[in-house]
Amino acid sequence: MDSVIVYQKPTSGGNDSAKIVPSVNKFSRLPERSPVDIQFENIVYTASLGFRKGKKKILHELHGRFLPSQLIAIMGPSGAGKSTLLDILSGYRITGVDGSVLVNGQERNLEAFRRMSCYITQDDRLHPLLTVQENMSVAADLKLGVHVHEQEKNDIIDEILTTLGLAEHKKTLTGRLSGGQRKRLSIALELINNPLVLFLDEPTTGLDSLSCSQCVSLLQILAHQGRTIVCTIHQPSASLFQMFDHVYVLGQGRCLYQGATHNIIPYLERMELPCPQYHNPADYVIELACGEHGQEKIDKMVVCTQNGNSLTWFKSSFNASDPKRAVEPMVRMEDESRSKSKEVKHGLQETSQWNQIKVLLRRGYIKAKRDQTMTHLRLLVNFFVAVMLGLLFYGGGNEGSRTLDNYNLLFACLIHNMMTPMMITILTFPTEMMILQKEHFNRWYSLKSYFISITIVDIPVTVVSCFLFSILVYLISGQPSDINRFNMFFSISLLIVYVAMSFGLMIGAIFDVVNGTFLGPTLSVPLMMFAGYGVNLRDMPKYLKWGTYISYLRYGLEGYVSAIYGYGRDVMDCVVLYCHYKNPGKFLREIAMTGDQYWNDLIALLIIFILFRSLSYFLLRWKIKAVR
């Protein structure tokens, strides 16, 4: 009788329990296409060690075959090449790879293969601010398309969540799920479009023994329904090891064994390397792969398996030479690939770009509403900094004796509008980048749709926070009571914020948080130097004059000065005996600014914004391709 995992309600201790009970109500969404037989031949992977450090061969002419309807484990010690092999088989890694991967006997078409497979990473790359239901709804809208009725999508989601034991956690934020629940949710999201092939990198990492059993039991059920499921696993317990149908053991980038799990002990006995009594076979084979029993043992096992070319230790029912078994699925898959190719209208993605943008915008607004850093804290920081600066320079905007103080205030506003959005982006985007890599590879959406959505989603928060800051500073510090001048001040502030965010996006797309946090402020220092504040534009050395034309802060400061002091502003009030700069024209001459360059500065900032945004997109696209 078939088996299925039944999840019981969490106890007071907080751990969800599970047991395997006989049942006929297993996951009903059976694969709609023929099973997939994966073969690989002479797989070689060479990794670059860095600039002028040469290269290192990680995988050495590997062969192997993974059959459908089996749960397959790629095992080996750390550094053996498990994740690398999984990346290559899934199509995630394509640089530095030689050899061939066959699907049902034919050379793999990577785009067609990606349409029938998915890759679940070791770390659970999920949106913590969305509930389980919201995550699933977004995945369904992106992976099933608009032609599937909403009720049908909900039925699919309900069945998957029930099968995976997540039905009771529909309204729970993903960030509050346990490790096992997050792992099951990662699998649930990819089951939406019912893939034929699943690749999982270390699915049991960080889980307790019960959660490990639940996870592997689920994968076993899914595999036995006709899917090909391949996992990397480091060192499973004896009970967990027996749950896998097929094992592929790696050591030093070579194959030490491939075949049925129950055949590994006879294999070791044949090799005169018997597993000690009461010893976990998985532990023992890892010891052999590590070289603890000598390098000659590794070499002997590689020769016996022909580096993965031998199929001797497969299940006894398997017949590699059976033409009916080998050819019929291949023909069916070929026919299906032709029919599917006619249906594909949106590249690798299942839905149109417009629908992708619409779904991503909906997800983005939900996240923005709940985000403590990007929304709530950002509004609070802008409010408090504006009040603090306004009070510090209270009433100085129209006081001739405090013109230099007001100039300092303008520079302080410039630095705030530059540093705050830039650093927030640098600190938060690398985390988003990890999720983007997974979802983009699994064909949820195109990079163009994603980039358009994040640009649009941030508009309301950016405009509101910038307006809040600008109006508070402007009013409290007593700037000119002229709506046109305020509009000029606000427009320059908003453009500076957008340029700084785009600058932070470029850094965040390429570097991690640590390097980005260092590079952001470091690269901003020269931009401040060329802004014309400490050294005015007239006194700038000729050999450094070029810097003033590439510094967006120069255009921001000049735009502020034009908005406050330019365009024929009247003589300011003077409450002391002598005010040297009560005439704005005299002050403008002193700082080497004409006060009539506002529109030029505005256009320059718009051009820099478009340039930085475009560079952000291309750097993001380069980064996604580079990691592969």
Pick from 14-18, 46-50, 615-619: least confident: 14-18
Helix (H, G, I), strand (E, B) or coil at 260: strand
What are the Cα distances from residue 440, in Å, to 193, 226, 251, 436?
15, 26, 31, 6
pLDDT of residue 10: 42
What pLDDT, in 10s, does the model give residues 407-438? 999 999 999 999 999 999 998 888 888 899 99
What pLDDT, in 10s, does the model give residues 121-165? 888 889 999 999 999 999 999 998 788 889 999 999 998 998 888
How far out from the chain centre does Cα 69 lie?
30
Mean pLDDT of the chain: 86
Q: Say if 126 falls within a structural domain.
A: yes
What are the Cα distances from residue 424, in Å, to 116, 459, 484?
38, 15, 30
Q: Say if 47 falls within a structural domain.
A: yes
Residue 330 shares a structural domain with residue 369: no
Residue 518 shares a structural domain with residue 399: yes
- Domain extent, residue 384, equals 353-626
CATH of the domain at 111: 3.40.50.300
Q: Say if 300 falls within a structural domain.
A: yes
What is the count of structural domains for the chain? 2
Residue 241 shares a structural domain with residue 376: no
Q: Give percent of the chain above pLDDT 90.
A: 50
Residue 46 shares a structural domain with residue 168: yes
Strand order in the sheet with 106-107: 55-66, 38-48, 97-103, 106-107
Residue 469 shares a structural domain with residue 573: yes
Residue type, 611: L
What are the Cα distances from residue 419, in Å, to 390, 397, 491, 502, 521?
18, 23, 17, 12, 8
How far out from the chain centre does Cα 150 lie?
27
Helix (H, G, I), strand (E, B) or coil at 345: coil
Residue 335 shares a structural domain with residue 394: no
What pLDDT, in 10s, does the model give residues 48-72? 877 777 888 899 999 999 999 999 9
Residue 358 shares a structural domain with residue 337: no
pLDDT band at 344 (very low <50, low <70, confident <90, very high): very low
Pick from 39-43, 526-530, 605-609: least confident: 526-530
- Which of 341, 375, 409 is the endpoint of a domain? 341
Residue 324 shares a structural domain with residue 364: no
